[in-house]
Amino acid sequence: MIEIQGITKAYDDVRAVDDVSLTIESGEIVTVVGTSGSGKTTLLRMINRLVEPTAGAILIDGRDNRDLPGHELRRAIGYAIQGYGLFPHRTVAENIATVPKLLGWERKRIDARVDELLALFHLEPDQFRARMPHELSGGQQQRIGVARALAAEPAVLLMDEPFGALDPIIRGKAQDDLIDIQRRFSTTIVLVTHGMEEAIRLGDRIAVMDKGKLLQFATPAEIIAHPATDFVAELVGSDDRAFRLLSLAPVADLLEPGDASGEPIDAAASLKDALAEALWSGRAALPVRRDGAIVGRVTRDSLIARAGRPQ
């Protein structure tokens, strides 16, 4: 759990972060979204003390993050950044092993961990271990950057626009990978992004910041349905909020008994995908499949009703 208590960072007269308080539960993904200059990156960097706050405190699992020297604190917290910051003179394996080495792990344990992480990120260990960063594609560098951040099994992972430089298809894949890994290790993730789309897709909760202030901290559904200020509403955008809302829940939520014809849709697919398919194929209902068996249907009317603003 990360408790941010009235944290402020002032540079001369400008308050980059202004009295922000929020509590991030263990095992949750919180996305911090805002325009550039909103203070979101400064807020993130105060968690691992790359920036020291002017006022306020940050508690990680109940301990003030100033209890340890900065470098020791940072070894216990994963950190992945835009541009990845891989060490160009070190191999992929050496890059991933950075923090375990600083912590003095045994050689065998480090090697095993490196191979485990490479496999986890779909990079064949034998093929990638000895490569240099400049021999990798952008997507591969990004994965190595996250693998390095996770190497010492940190409970908390901080990410600053980690997918910013990837093209849309690879970005989608990287986001899915991140969600998988988060579910697997129940890492607490704080991810900074300027895109509301990414914030909604990844965040269990979203913190919206503007001019150093925290405007709203709530679930994606809440943010879409009830934006706290006009600025939040503008970030969400009005033209496709109905579809964003639908994208948050699976088909299983609207499953009902009954028959329907045509190609079935998976119960884990999003409501948005189901509505799109119903509209595209002109069907009033779609059969729903779970584990290969048809378990019921979902109707177009129920999907449309669900897309309205929640009360």
Partner 1 sequence: MSVSFLLRLALLVLLLTFLANPQAFEPVFAPFAANGAPAIYTQSSLVALTLSHLAMVAAATLAATIVSVGFAILVTRPSGREFLPLSRSIANIGQTFPPVAVLALAVPVFGFGPIPTLIALFLYGLLPVFENALTGLTSIPASVQEAARGVGMTGGQRLVGVELPLALPIILAGIRLTAVISLGTATIGSTVAARTLGEVIIAGLTSNNTAFVLQGGLIVAMLALFIHEGFALLETALSRRTGGAQPA
Binding site for partner 1 (CB under 8 A): 48, 50, 71-76, 79, 81-89, 98-99, 102, 132-135, 145, 148-149
Q: Which is nearer to partner 1, 89 or 184 (CB)?
A: 89
Query: Angle formed by the axes of helices 168-185 and 138-150, to 10°?
Result: 20
Closest approach, Cβ 251 to partner 1, in A, equals: 40
Look up residue 13 and give its two tokens.
């007269």
Closest approach, Cβ 164 to partner 1, in A, equals: 11
If one counts every other C-beta atom within 10 angstroms of the C-beta of residue 252, the result is 16
Q: Which is nearer to partner 1, 157 or 224 (CB)?
A: 157
Burial status of residue 66 (CB atoms within 10 A of its CB: 0-12, 13-18, 19 or more): middle
Closest approach, Cβ 186 to partner 1, in A, equals: 22
Look up residue 215 and give its two tokens.
């405007």
Q: Which is nearer to partner 1, 84 or 121 (CB)?
A: 84
Closest approach, Cβ 283 to partner 1, in A, equals: 49
Measured between alpha carbons, how far is 310 from 97 in angstroms, rounded to an integer? 47
Q: Which is nearer to partner 1, 65 or 216 (CB)?
A: 65
DSSP state of 228: S
Closest approach, Cβ 131 to partner 1, in A, equals: 11
In sequence order, what are the beta bridge partners of 192?
Answer: 32, 160
Q: Which is nearer to partner 1, 157 or 206 (CB)?
A: 157
